[in-house]
Amino acid sequence: MPNSLPHQRLSVCPQPLLGPLAVLMAACLATIHPAQAQQPVRPLPYHSRCLSGYVASGSYCLPAKSGNPRGALVKVGRVCPQGFTGWGNYCLGTPNNRREAMQKVGDTCPQGWSASQDYCMIPTDNKRRAVITRVGRGCPTGFTPWGDYCLGSPNQEQEAVLRVGRLCPPGWPRFGTYCLRTAK
């Protein structure tokens, strides 16, 4: 699979938001639902091209309805977490991976997650609640602030991603800075 080229840009954010905030925004897209056995398959921010199994739609790469997209997250730097393969600006979950990953914010990981370089990891059989990176002081409805993260209630029925630009992905209604939908 292709790897990130040095000339590729790692940002989908408007120019004033480049840098650490862009990484924070991308980190917000790595939310998890307890019932899933691998990295969740959900919209990702668009970074110059979409990975295999995803199609471009505005500021997002959406999981293709045809085919069998695998869960992925935006790559931090040049390294992907264990159980993931680099694919351009993304880390694609391997078929036998049984861990979920999200980009680490600051020095800590959400409750129950362990740090691994620039990522937070959790075995899928230990997953008990949804997690999303917190933006500002608030969390979406049904989530509680915990440091730099928002934790969903046990058996959370909502999943959330951070809004990229002004719009949410199709089927994800807008809730302030976040996009929410009922977990599938």
Q: How do residues 34-84 score in pLDDT, each as one tens digit?
A: 334 478 888 999 988 999 899 999 999 999 988 788 999 999 989 999 999
pTM of the predicted model, to two decimals?
A: 0.72
DSSP 73-129: EEPBTTBPPTTEEEEBTEEEEPTT--EEEEE-BTTB--TT-EEETTEEEEEGGG--S
pLDDT of residue 161: 86
- Measured CA to CA, the distance from residue 183 to residue 159 in angstroms comes to 6
Q: How do residues 114-124 score in pLDDT, each as one tens digit?
A: 998 899 998 87
Q: What is the mean pLDDT of the chain?
A: 77
Q: What is the CA radius of gyration of the chain?
A: 15
| Domain edges within the chain | 15-182
Least reliable range by pLDDT among 9-13, 115-119, 168-172? 9-13
The number of residues in the chain equals: 184
